[in-house]
Structure 1
């Protein structure tokens, strides 16, 4: 692979450390990363020289501590120390496993499960996180035997000059990262992302959404998450453009901060899940985006990590048209950790596509086009196209045969971005990462990643309809939970995006549809809990001809969600079946207490 520097020489690179060394040589004092305090003011920054120096110090310390060639957990809050350590690990041949900093006991348990799965007792972190873990969870058996290392305090060994030290050069097939899936089960799986996977994915991303020399990335996504890491760290390093980062909490507390940062720093590339665009549109409705400013610099507003909602696309583009937001900047895409990240994306020279489909036909796995807003129609947003060497196919899950055109099936992906497999799980890796189409030649080298997602191809573009494991089947028809959840969210004013979870449970006699809805006191005092339940049931009945057997209203924040804000339906179902979710009841206005 080649990389072009500002003065246009072309150099061959094979890994991200190669890219950093070239950046240091050609643009050493240009800004690489900036972290924004509270999502607003620059707190700390790194040039390419700074980053290379810091990464070398950490790599030398890792080699001296005999960590080279092994695995380590990366436990960092949002900030630049994560980036220093990530690159330091790559220099030393350490496969890092990024994990969210625990806030509760369950987080500590997950940390230990991942450390055990990665066969490591080394946890790289900051002084603040180390102190907090030891003070709050020091008596937890899950921390026993783990070595917490403050990487901010690391120095190079006295006999080693990091600037001259020749670190091992990783090969494209070497493991660069262990990306643990954000699912809800107690059995975490580490996706083995190679250096070649990283480079292939970022080259594809830059091919689809070119950064150009004037590019600037702005991101609030968590860096331990695949989307946050690739967009916030890897893409800007490859392209040689600055990246402005903020903590996810800064966005969640005040979504307008994200847009204000894009305006202030003239961001060209930024990514987020669909619900984030909805939160911004809601903030605009409530008059909370007055300081956003000019968004005309924004060329790529990548939208992924969950099914993209047409309502979100339309609401956001309309809300910020006056700020100069170009509708063509909205770029829905599809990706997953098992493919490093991006698999498809919408080209930036056109507006997002949407198909209005017969809901009934879609439930039968068929694609029947209707007019916009027609009765019985469901909008499905296009997730774009693959580029370069990635290929996408639609396959019947049971038979592994290619689906006919305009039929729903499982999305299979092939190409250089498909990761090496799950760490220590050869059988699961063979089933998921090396699937073959029915009828393919035994000697064929072409294998595919089975994504577990459902979708279809239309005019060469991918449309995602849902997860195989989440589909609800009633009377021989398929119902997609995200559609039911969207109806629930729209049932009453004041409900927030991503506030519902729909799933089925087996009570021993039949399958029952359960819908959980998050609400706060302000929403409930208007219609009341019982009235809200009735509205949710009525919306589901009207939109889907389906009866919700149970509608449970829960306190806002009670639903289990991934680090990127996506509802974890299986975790919600488990907590519901365990009786761990209570109905949230708000007394009439003026009452002294809020009951559960």
Structure 2
């Protein structure tokens, strides 16, 4: 294969440059392995193979006139996603990863993202292409979109060079409101800066191995499962999210079998592993002693999840200091802060009532106090400030405000949305305009001894009688109120009925709970748990069947989308149908 410019010998400045370095220095070493059903290896790629495949796909995309444009990336977890992603980057095609639709609602999201990205090209696999055409061939949201099986593209030689560091490497669409997806423009420089910061906090070492079930179309899954391993030169063992959800023990078994050192997940995944162990669904004799970095990226990280996981798997060799909470968001590429390796994450006990008034009063563990887990510190050139959003002034330590971030990981903005980009990505601190521009995260938090503590979302705070309540606290009380309820399966939000704000709590229950517990009793338990936990009365409890709540691409419940479903009557109709079926 002809390469028209010399292979770089210094640090790579783009992701294709990083791949070229790996293909030169360790050509026949394993880069990625896909685990069928989360267990047995089913295909692998060396760096040499990946470089050849990516460059060939780049040549085919350029020949099709897509170079310098954009395309939707519609792939299940697997190696073809990695080939196509790097191929797009070589050809300067801004890829927009999207979850493979299972229902018509997912197809509508696909359409909206394609339109926002300004493309009609959808890159995918033969299996997905066939399935979509078979099930949705005449659907209007599929009309006009061209599905391209990248595995069937003709082999060709890439004769172009590398992209520039400031070129858009990816359009990462936010997974908040499904009706208004926004594409975050992430550059190659952003990605490599984020990888550098991640490696600064959580060094890889010569024996580094990633084991990941996270969705590759999601920012956390892509950076932790694909891009960090590529830059660091460590093999990555990948499995489908469904394989983990069906059997969380598979993830742990893979970490044991392949001696994983780095693996990441949101809090609810660690809770699912604990639940699986308690139910006897984790293989005996597990050895997790190789696991050095158990990154936790939920917002905020749950103390109960960290403590119970460490206690449950201590006998398997898991060390508490391996728990590495972090805070991040797509607009900052991913990670903004992280806990340092080898240190147990700090926990602050604070007065619950004071926190609702945005005051941080340290307390001893016990009634009226709640634990907050530190999300670490910024490193290298990143800066975090806590700002009062209305006045844009910096707050003092232990004062709750909006988290603002600046540094090389802050993305270029939202695609095609200059006004929103200006407001979100280029904020300035009052009286300190010369200090530079900041990303407004929309998240709330405070700093204590240099450590960031995340307390909630600016727009999700529920205000009752002049006090602030964080929905995740209400949801945790609801989720633990009765058997048959699960982590990450509730949504708390407020609605205005014209006279006052009403608190609504929607909870998913599995079939066992719905069969064995009367709905009135289940709702009463939820009300009692929230009252005891937050001294807060719930105006309405809605119980729905497991799997009904809208979720983000990473599996978290979408509060705003859930609220919209409530307001248009969908949730009430589902609850009424459940009652009539009993």
Report deviation, 1:10: 6.7
Decide whether the 8 Å contact of 2:446 with 2:452 is kept in 1: yes
Decide whether the 8 Å contact of 1:123 with 1:148 is kept in 2: yes
Aligned length: 573
For residue 303 of structure 2, what is the aligned residue in structure 1?
310
Report deviation, 1:292: 6.0
Shift in CA distance, 290/586, structure 1 to aligned 2, threshold 3 Å: farther
Distance in 2 (CA, whole Å) between partners of 1:185 and 1:570 is: 9
TM-score (norm: length of structure 1): 0.94
For residue 262 of structure 2, what is the aligned residue in structure 1?
269
Correspondence 1:419 to 2:418: no
Report deviation, 1:584: 6.9
Report deviation, 1:169: 1.9
For residue 590 of structure 1, what is the aligned residue in structure 2?
none
Aligned match for 1:460, one of 427, 444, 450: 450
For residue 150 of structure 2, what is the aligned residue in structure 1?
151
For residue 165 of structure 2, what is the aligned residue in structure 1?
172
Equivalent position SS for 1:559: coil
Decide whether the 8 Å contact of 1:555 with 1:584 is kept in 2: no
For residue 3 of structure 2, what is the aligned residue in structure 1?
none
Report deviation, 1:249: 0.2
Correspondence 1:469 to 2:468: no
For residue 333 of structure 2, what is the aligned residue in structure 1?
340
For residue 435 of structure 1, what is the aligned residue in structure 2?
427
Equivalent position SS for 1:583: helix
Aligned match for 1:280, one of 273, 296, 308: 273
Decide whether the 8 Å contact of 1:218 with 1:270 is kept in 2: yes
Deviations along 1:487-519, one digit per CA (max 9) or x if unpaired, are 111111332111211001111221110001111
For residue 25 of structure 2, what is the aligned residue in structure 1?
26
For residue 14 of structure 2, what is the aligned residue in structure 1?
15
Report deviation, 1:184: 2.1
Report deviation, 1:405: 1.5
Equivalent position SS for 1:85: helix
Distance in 2 (CA, whole Å) between partners of 1:343 and 1:504 is: 29
Distance in 1 (CA, whole Å) between partners of 2:250 and 2:61 is: 37
Distance in 2 (CA, whole Å) between partners of 1:172 and 1:120 is: 23
Distance in 2 (CA, whole Å) between partners of 1:38 and 1:395 is: 45
Report deviation, 1:185: 3.9
Equivalent position SS for 1:366: coil
Distance in 1 (CA, whole Å) between partners of 2:127 and 2:199 is: 36
Shift in CA distance, 416/26, structure 1 to aligned 2, threshold 3 Å: same
Distance in 1 (CA, whole Å) between partners of 2:515 and 2:137 is: 42
Shift in CA distance, 350/578, structure 1 to aligned 2, threshold 3 Å: same
Correspondence 1:41 to 2:40: yes
Distance in 1 (CA, whole Å) between partners of 2:139 and 2:285 is: 45
Decide whether the 8 Å contact of 2:109 with 2:178 is kept in 1: no
For residue 326 of structure 1, what is the aligned residue in structure 2?
319
Decide whether the 8 Å contact of 2:475 with 2:490 is kept in 1: yes
Equivalent position SS for 1:259: helix
Report deviation, 1:569: 0.5
Distance in 1 (CA, whole Å) between partners of 2:529 and 2:48 is: 57
Correspondence 1:404 to 2:396: yes
Correspondence 1:595 to 2:571: no
Write out aligned runs for 1:86-165 (5 A): 86-157=85-156, 162=157, 165=158
Write out aligned runs for 1:171-250 (5 A): 171-250=164-243
Equivalent position SS for 2:575: coil
Deviations along 1:508-562, one digit per CA (max 9) or x if unpaired, are 2211100011112312344421111111111111111111000111101111111
For residue 498 of structure 1, what is the aligned residue in structure 2?
488
Report deviation, 1:586: 7.1
Shift in CA distance, 585/104, structure 1 to aligned 2, threshold 3 Å: closer
Distance in 2 (CA, whole Å) between partners of 1:387 and 1:242 is: 25
Report deviation, 1:404: 1.7
Equivalent position SS for 2:122: strand
Aligned match for 1:564, one of 554, 558, 575: 554
Decide whether the 8 Å contact of 2:71 with 2:120 is kept in 1: yes
Unaligned 5+ runs, structure 2? 1-7
Once the two structures are overlaid, the 10-residue window that deviates more, 576-585 or 268-277, is 576-585
Runs of 4+ displaced beyond 6 Å: 584-587
Decide whether the 8 Å contact of 1:230 with 1:341 is kept in 2: yes
TM-score (norm: length of structure 2): 0.97
Distance in 1 (CA, whole Å) between partners of 2:86 and 2:371 is: 42
Distance in 2 (CA, whole Å) between partners of 1:115 and 1:407 is: 41
CA root-mean-square deviation = 1.4
